[in-house]
């Protein structure tokens, strides 16, 4: 049978790094051998699996990992320290620590699959630690996509600043199921949301993220900029939804302009906000990132 006729399979891995156990979820169709490798870096709230392989009853099309696996990729979604099934250390985690975790995961994947480079898609705060990783290790990344990248003047970050003292006080917070649903709104109109998807995400996040790290919030609110566009030398795509409350053309165009590699692309996708991959514009988003990573 051809790979196209086979079901998508999931496999879990564990990477040991800094005396921590990092969970990695992998999806592929048929055999993983000989496929281009794509790593998905999660944001500041939810880990890899529930972010990118969400199971929505009656709506399998919302799993980004399944879509990419069916496009011929071997797809990996790691949980950085403090998230998901990975070790939750005491104290605030930093963006640099997450970048180190990503480096350890990529090294393990390179060895596991016998490849020299990976493709990398990073979402939200993931663009910060992934950006640092790409700056430090460009030779390990073939193509990079920064999805929903924030900047210092992002509207949502401005709104979060009133909670800075809370984030600094405790390294973890508990987010309720209702709290997870709020991320679908903000500047995003209700008509681009799908209630059954919101419910599925909120349930999955509340189950997996029993406590959420606040270190990323502290870094985002006190240490911008965390990355330097001039030092990101690999082919790079900037992509976000039209209603995103952390990523917008005015704030990110200077960053995009400063990217030194001429192989770059800026894409705005309609019918979505910060949760674009789980909103009505998800199919356009999926197609755009798949095309970016399959450029000859």
215-273 pLDDT, tens digit per residue, is 999 999 999 999 999 999 999 999 999 999 999 999 999 999 999 999 999 999 999 99
Mean of pLDDT over the chain: 96
Phi, psi of 27 (to 5 degrees): -130, 140
- Opening angle at CA 66, ends 120 and 88, nearest 5: 60
Tokens 């992998």 found at: 26
Peptide bond preceding 202 in cis form (omega within 30 of 0): no
Average pLDDT over residues 88-117: 98
Lowest mean pLDDT across 3-7, 30-34, 81-85, 200-204: 3-7
Query: Could you list the residue range(s) of the whole structural domain that residue 215 is in?
Result: 3-293
CATH number for 70: 3.40.50.1820
The residue among 229, 226, 223, 255 whose CA lies nearest residue 240 is 255
Q: How many domains does the chain have?
A: 1
Give, to the nearest 10 degrees, the angle between helix 215-222 and helix 126-136.
Answer: 70
Q: For 112-149, write each residue's pLDDT tens digit.
A: 999 999 999 999 999 999 999 999 999 999 999 999 99
Q: What is the pLDDT of residue 296?
A: 82
pTM of the complete model: 0.97
């Amino acid at each position: 049978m051809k790979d196209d006729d086979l079901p998508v399979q999931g496999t879990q891995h564990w990477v040991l790094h800094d005396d921590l156990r990092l969970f990695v979820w992998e999806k592929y169709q048929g055999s993983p051998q000989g496929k281009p490798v794509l790593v998905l870096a999660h944001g500041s709230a939810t880990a890899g699996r529930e972010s990118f392989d969400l199971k929505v009853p009656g709506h399998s099309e919302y799993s980004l990992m399944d879509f990419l696996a069916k496009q011929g990729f071997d797809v990996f979604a790691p949980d950085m320290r403090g998230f998901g099934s990975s070790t939750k250390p005491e104290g605030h985690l930093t963006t640099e620590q997450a970048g180190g975790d990503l480096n350890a995961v990529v090294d393990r994947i390179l060895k596991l699959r016998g490849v020299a480079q990976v493709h990398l898609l990073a979402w939200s705060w993931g663009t910060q630690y992934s950006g640092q990783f790409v700056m430090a290790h460009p030779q390990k990344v073939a193509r990079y996509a920064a999805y929903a990248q924030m900047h210092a003047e992002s509207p949502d970050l401005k709104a979060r600043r009133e909670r800075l003292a809370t984030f600094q006080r405790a390294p973890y917070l508990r987010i309720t199921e209702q709290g997870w649903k709020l991320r679908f709104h903000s500047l995003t109109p209700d008509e681009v949301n799908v209630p059954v998807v919101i419910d599925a995400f909120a349930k999955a996040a509340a189950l997996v993220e029993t406590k959420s790290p606040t270190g990323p919030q502290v870094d985002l609110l006190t240490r911008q900029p965390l990355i330097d566009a001039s030092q990101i030398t690999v082919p790079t795509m900037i992509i976000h939804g039209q209603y995103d409350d952390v990523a917008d053309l005015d704030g990110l165009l200077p960053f995009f302009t400063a990217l030194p590699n001429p192989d770059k692309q800026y894409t705005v996708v309609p019918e979505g906000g910060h949760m674009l991959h789980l909103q009505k514009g998800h199919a356009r988003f999926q197609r755009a990132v798949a095309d970016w990573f399959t450029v000859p």
